[in-house]
Amino acid sequence: METRVVVSDENGLHARPAAQFVKAANSFVCDVWIGKDGRMVNAKSIVGVLSLGVGKGTEIVIKAQGQDEEKAVEELKKLIGEA
Amino acid sequence: MLKGIAASPGIAIGKVLKYENKLSLFKEKIEPWEIDEELQNLHRAVQDHILRLTELRDKTGREIGEKEAEIFDAHILMLKDPMFIESIEEKIRVGKNSAAAAVKFAVEETAGILKDVDDEYIRERASDIEDVGNGLIKNILNIDDGLIEKLNDEVILVAQELNPSDTARMDKEKVLGFALDTGGRTSHIAIMANSLEIPAVLGVEGLSKNVKDNDLIIVDGNKGIIIVHPSDEQIGEYNRQLEAYKMKKSMAEKECNRPCTTRDGKEIQIGANIGTPGDAEYAKKYGARGVGLYRTEFLFMDRNDLPSEEEQFIAYREVAEKMAPGPVIIRTLDIGADKSLPYLELPREQNPFLGWRAIRICLDRRDIFITQIRAVLRASNFGNIKIMYPMVCGVGELIQANGILQQAKDDLKKEGIAYDEKIETGIMIETPAAAIICDILVKYVDFFSIGTNDLTQYTLAVDRMNNRVADLYNPMHPAVLRLVKHVIDVSHRAGKWTGMCGELAGETLAAPVLVGLGIDEMSMNPLSIPRIKETLRRISFDKAKEFSKEVLSMEHPQEAQDACRAFLDQTGN
Q: Which value does ipTM take for this structure?
A: 0.78
Please provide residue B159's backbone torsions phi and psi, each rounded to the nearest 5 degrees. -155, 165
- Residue A82 pLDDT exceeds 90: no
Task: Give the C-alpha separation, B286 to B388, whole Å.
Answer: 24
Q: Looking at this protein, which amino acid is placed at residue B336? A: G
d(CA B76, CA B52): 10
Please give the Cα distance from B200 to B177 (Å, whole number). Answer: 6
Residue B129 and residue A44: Cβ atoms within 8 Å?
Answer: no
Domains and CATH numbers, chain B: 2-21+147-249 (3.50.30.10), 32-140 (1.10.274.10), 258-570 (3.20.20.60)
Nearest to A50 by CA among B75, B114, B105, B130: B114
**Cβ–Cβ below 8 Å for B113 and A41:** no
Nearest CA in chain A to B113: A51
Decide: residue B264, CB within 10 A, 0-12 exposed, 13-18 middle, 19+ buried. exposed
Q: What is the pLDDT along chain B (573 residues), one digit of tens a residue?
A: 899 998 888 899 999 988 876 555 678 888 888 999 999 999 999 999 898 888 878 877 776 666 667 777 878 888 988 888 999 999 999 999 999 999 999 998 888 888 887 776 677 677 778 878 888 888 888 776 555 666 778 999 998 877 655 665 567 778 999 999 987 766 667 877 877 788 999 999 989 888 988 999 999 998 899 999 999 999 999 999 898 888 877 877 777 778 889 999 999 999 999 988 888 988 998 899 999 999 998 888 767 789 999 999 999 999 999 999 999 999 999 988 777 777 887 777 888 889 999 999 999 999 999 999 999 999 999 999 999 999 999 999 999 999 999 999 999 999 999 999 999 999 999 999 999 999 999 999 999 999 999 999 999 999 877 767 878 899 999 999 999 999 999 999 999 999 999 889 999 999 999 999 999 999 998 888 998 999 999 999 999 999 999 999 999 999 999 999 999 988 864
Asked if residues B338 and B191 have their Cβ atoms less than 8 Å apart, the reply is no
Other residues' Cβ atoms within 10 Å of the Cβ of residue B362:
27
B83: which chain A residues are within 8 Å (Cβ-Cβ)?
A: 41-42, 45, 47-48
Q: Check residue A83 and give its pLDDT.
A: 47
pLDDT on residue B549: 96
Restricting to A residues 36-55, those with a Cβ less than 8 Å away from any Cβ of B are 41-42, 44-48, 50-53, 55
- Residue A41 domain boundaries: 2-80
Asked if A54 and A14 count as a contact pair (C-beta separation under 8 A), the reply is no
Query: Which pLDDT score, from 0 to 100, does residue B213 have?
Result: 87
CB-based contact, B117 to chain A, within 8 Å:
yes
Q: How many domains does chain A have?
A: 1
Among B77, B81, B122, beta carbon nearest to A14: B122
Q: Which member of A23, A45, A53 has the closest CB to residue B83?
A: A45
Q: Is B75 a catalytic residue?
A: no
Q: Could you give the residue ranges of the DSSP H alpha helices within B260-308? A: 277-285, 297-300
> Does residue B129 belong to the interface with chain A, where contact is any CB pair within 8 Å?
yes
Nearest to A47 among B78, B116, B121 (CB): B78
A-chain residue closest to B121, CA distance: A14
DSSP letter string, B319-342? HHHHHTTSEEEEEP---BTTB--G
pLDDT of residue A15: 61
- A and B: number of Cβ contacts within 8 A: 56
Report the alpha-carbon distance of residue B276 to residue B299 in Å, rounded.
8
Give the whole-angstrom CA distance, residue B168 versus residue B171: 9
Please spell the DSSP secondary structure of B341-367, one letter per residue. Answer: -GGG-PPP-SSGGGSS-THHHHHH-HH
CATH number at A49 reads 3.30.1340.10
pLDDT in the model for residue B168: 56
Question: Diameter of chain A by CA atoms?
Answer: 32
A46–B78: do the CB atoms touch at under 8 Å?
yes
